[in-house]
Amino acid sequence: MEPFDYEVHLTVECGVTFKVTLTRNATESLQLSPHREVWIVFKTHSWHILK
């Protein structure tokens, strides 16, 4: 977890690596911490495919 200004950048490992950006408020509300099990939900207008 890497805090930046009003965002937190996370890496999620689940067979593939996802780089995730959340607001600090969302991170606190979800009580996220390193090695915590999570579900990933995609907002179709908020992601980018990198090649």
DSSP 3-state helix, strand, coil percentages of the chain (rounded to 5)? 10, 35, 55
Domain that holds residue 46: 1-51
Is 80 exceeded by the pLDDT of residue 38? Answer: yes
pTM of the full structure: 0.66
The string of pLDDT tens digits covering residues 3-33 is: 778 899 999 999 999 988 899 999 999 999 9
What is the tally of structural domains in the chain? 1
Do residues 37 and 31 make contact, with C-beta atoms less than 8 angstroms apart? no
Q: Where are the alpha helices (DSSP H) in the chain?
A: 24-29
